[in-house]
Amino acid sequence: MPGQRDERALADGPEKGERIAKVLARAGVCSRRDAEKLVLEGRVSVDGVALASPAFNVRPGQVVSVDGKVLGQAEPTRLWCYHKPRGLVTTHKDPEGRPTVFQQLPKTLPRVISVGRLDFNSEGLLLLTNDGALARRLELPETGWTRRYRVRVHGAPTDEQLARLAKGVTVDGVSYGPIEARLDGLKGANAWLTMALREGKNREIRKVMGHLGFQVSRLIRVAYGPFQLGNLKEGEVREVPARVLADQTGGRRKPRTGPRP
């Protein structure tokens, strides 16, 4: 097909370049996975030719467009702390029509993506960035950053029960890594805990506490690695200073490679 020949011709040359999904992620357009979907939907072009496959490397100097809009020069990587309220989903578009985090953000922010997620009924610290590659790196367990939570459950877990989590547990065939859990106090029929983990699998805390026989009624993330919720008010956004971002992510704050919207 002519389009396929044109796409192969675009890829000819001595320089290998960078995968299109990575370019779009670095530009903060979307995650790599969503970038691949954009390509397969025919919405991404290079030098005016629509790509048919995400297995394409963009070489220096080539012009990338999404939905006909040319991506411009990349901005430096930025990171924000956001106090997510309950009742929002961490997605750009929800098929159920529920309100999303990104609908509630200040209009002054550029297009951002989240570092991991907090579910609909969870609240607290959510990191946002304009750099998809940074988001992916900070989400990986290998990064070694601890996610810390304040958790309210109905009932009173014993020290022995909480100690079981330190060795990791398997729930419904899913293995969860070690979780540090400490009982902070009792209030009426409820207990408050501090819990810390590194993986952050989907609804991990709710599932492991349910495995122990306790229902989570409130879950607040108070820290993600070195970044703290602190006194950030519900719904507020605070940018991480460039120097702090560079210090905490192990390098100087450089412009991202690839274009941006």
**pLDDT tens digits, residue range 140-156?**
888 879 999 999 999 99
Answer yes or no: are the C-beta atoms of 60 and 17 closer than 8 Å: yes
Q: What is the pLDDT of residue 33?
A: 82
Could you say which DSSP state residue 141 is in? G
Superfamily of domain 2-70: RNA-binding S4 domain (3.10.290.10)
Residues with a catalytic annotation lie at 119
- Sorted by sequence, the CB contacts under 8 Å of residue 3 that are 6+ apart come out as 49, 50, 52
Q: What is the pLDDT of residue 259?
A: 41
Percentage of the chain with pLDDT > 90?
67
Question: Which pLDDT band holds residue 250 (cuts at 50, 70, 90)?
Answer: confident
Q: What is the pTM of this model?
A: 0.76
Whether the per-residue pLDDT at 204 is higher than 90: the answer is yes
Percentage of the chain with pLDDT > 70?
89
- C-alpha to C-alpha distance for 225 and 71, rounded to whole angstroms: 32
Which whole number is the average pLDDT over 20-47? Answer: 87
Structural element, H or E, at residue 10: helix 2-11
- pLDDT digit string, tens, across residues 55-103: 999 998 899 999 999 887 667 889 999 999 999 999 888 899 999 999 9
Whether the per-residue pLDDT at 207 is higher than 50: the answer is yes
Q: What is the pLDDT of residue 79?
A: 97
**Neighbour-count burial of 46, counting CB atoms closer than 10 A to its CB (0-12 exposed, 13-18 middle, 19+ buried):** buried
Domain residue ranges in the chain: 2-70, 79-142+226-248, 146-224
Assign a CATH topology to domain 146-224.
Answer: Alpha-Beta Plaits (3.30.70)
Answer yes or no: are the C-beta atoms of 111 and 103 closer than 8 Å: no
- pLDDT digit string, tens, across residues 167-202: 999 999 999 999 999 999 999 999 999 999 988 888
**Which CATH architecture does the domain made up of 79-142+226-248 adopt?**
2-Layer Sandwich (3.30)
Fold agreement (2-70, 146-224): no
Q: What is the pLDDT of residue 1?
A: 36
Highest mean pLDDT (candidates 35-39, 91-95, 130-134)? 35-39
Q: What is the pLDDT of residue 254?
A: 46
Q: What is the pLDDT of residue 186?
A: 95
What is the average pLDDT score of the chain? 88
Q: What is the pLDDT of residue 13?
A: 52
Q: What is the pLDDT of residue 54?
A: 92
Phi, psi of 186 (to 5 degrees): -115, 140
Q: What is the pLDDT of residue 84?
A: 98
